[in-house]
């Protein structure tokens, strides 16, 4: 009887050992599979959920060489220099060629620079002018005027052999700045007496009441220290 019990006990122990061994094998297999999965994931590139806007490449185009219109622009570089650029349509040149015939090819290309300070320029009333000869291929030019604080206008045209000047283009008018502070001073700046007294009273903490309403008498008699000298009657 005791022997039978021992046999049963040994069988139970062996059965339990086999079950433990099977569990260990399964656990070891799952651990290896998990490790391989994690390694594979680590080698993959990280994917983000942030949207990336991929726009088409911007095509950069150069500005056109010509705009097919007659135009001349004058601009200021500094108090003594101007810059002008222009465009003349082929149709416009053809028109002058047909009108002037051979004189067109003999003529000189000229920039005529007018001093138009303080006047409304009509083409004939400039204070003075000077000419600059240019080549027929030029489309811009720097001009030294040597006159700060003056107004200028430029014509592009043809100087014929007989001395006539034919205007093809005319620019806008520009004014060169002064090279230093203005020598003109205005010494007639003043404040009306009532406004001056009001500001004077505010400085003493008397509020913004009009003169004569609750302010001391000395404030009511204050006036602007700068006044225009009375003009003599003719």
Within-domain flag for 59: no
Local confidence band at 206 (pLDDT 50, 70, 90 cut-offs):
low
Q: Is the same domain home to 81 and 6?
A: no
Range of the domain at 109: 71-175
- The answer as to whether 62 is a domain residue is no
Q: How many domains does the chain have?
A: 3
Q: What is the reported pTM?
A: 0.55
CATH number at residue 121: 2.60.40.10
* CA–CA dist 26, 15 (Å, integer): 17
- Count of C-beta atoms within a 10 Å radius of residue 223: 14
pLDDT score recorded for residue 232: 56
Model pLDDT for residues 218-231, shown as the tens digit of each residue? 555 555 555 555 55
Residue 104's alpha-carbon distances to 89, 130, 155, 159, 196, in angstroms, are: 16, 21, 17, 9, 70
pLDDT more than 70, % of the chain = 63
Whether residues 169 and 194 fall in one domain: no
40 pLDDT more than 70: no
| pLDDT, tens only, 168-199 | 999 999 999 998 776 766 666 667 777 777 77
User: Average pLDDT, whole number, for the chain?
Assistant: 79
**Residue 229 resides in a domain:** no
pLDDT digits (tens, 9 = 90+) for 73-119: 999 999 999 999 999 999 999 999 999 999 999 999 999 999 999 99
User: Would you say residue 196 lies in a domain?
Assistant: yes
């Amino acid at each position: 009887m005791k022997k039978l019990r021992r046999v049963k006990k040994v069988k139970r122990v062996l059965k339990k050992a086999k079950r433990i061994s099977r569990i260990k094998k399964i656990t070891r297999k799952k651990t290896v599979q998990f490790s391989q999965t994690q390694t594979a994931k680590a080698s993959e590139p990280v994917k983000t959920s942030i949207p990336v806007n991929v726009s088409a490449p911007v095509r950069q185009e150069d500005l056109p060489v010509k705009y097919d219109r007659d135009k001349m622009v004058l601009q200021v570089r500094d108090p003594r220099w101007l810059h002008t650029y222009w465009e003349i349509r082929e149709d416009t040149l053809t028109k002058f060629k047909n009108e002037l015939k051979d004189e067109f090819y003999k003529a000189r290309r000229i920039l005529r620079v007018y001093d138009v300070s303080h006047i409304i320029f009509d083409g004939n009333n400039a204070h003075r002018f000077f000419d600059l000869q240019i080549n027929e291929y030029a489309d811009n030019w720097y001009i030294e005027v040597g006159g700060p604080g003056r107004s200028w206008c430029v014509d592009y045209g043809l100087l014929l052999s007989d001395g006539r000047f034919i205007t093809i283009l005319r620019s806008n008018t520009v004014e060169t700045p002064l090279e230093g502070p203005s020598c003109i001073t205005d010494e007639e700046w003043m404040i009306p007496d009532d406004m001056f007294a009001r500001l004077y009273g505010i400085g003493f903490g008397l509020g913004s009441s009009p003169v004569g309403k609750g302010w001391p008498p000395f404030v009511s008699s204050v006036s602007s220290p700068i006044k225009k000298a009375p003009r003599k009657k003719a």
